Structure 1
Amino acid sequence: MTGRRFGDELGPTYLEAVEARDDDRCATLVEVIEHYLVTDLEANLALYYGDIGEEFESVHLGSTVEFSV
């Protein structure tokens, strides 16, 4: 998931599911959103700690998860 796909595809798809009150689809999409946000945050932390010369132990960075939406 790239930032562009997140904004262009996932965000609008999630909002459509909310509008349609499709709770199952919303729950699935929230999993995708949360995975994206956690890995994005870890990537930023890894860059920060790398810049200051500190070790950073990533948990999710580089992981992939398959979602069916």
Structure 2
Amino acid sequence: MSVTRTRVPHRAGGPTAALTAALCLADHSTAAPTEVSKALVERAATGKMSDVGPGSPNKLLQADNP
């Protein structure tokens, strides 16, 4: 089985964030929404984007897609 890593800029409520949360829930079906959110933020790469503007979390969401 191959694994594709997808990286996208953090956008609260974006379709990629929803897909990544769904992948997380597939592996951890009893996780609470706050646990999923915390896991996604912790896995996000910091400082990988440029010209992000003031107030940006500068996080790059990472999802393993089997």
- Structure having the larger proportion of residues in strand: 2
- Structure having the larger proportion of residues in helix: 1
What's the TM-score once normalised by structure 2's chain length? 0.33
Whose Rg is larger? 1
What's the TM-score once normalised by structure 1's chain length? 0.32
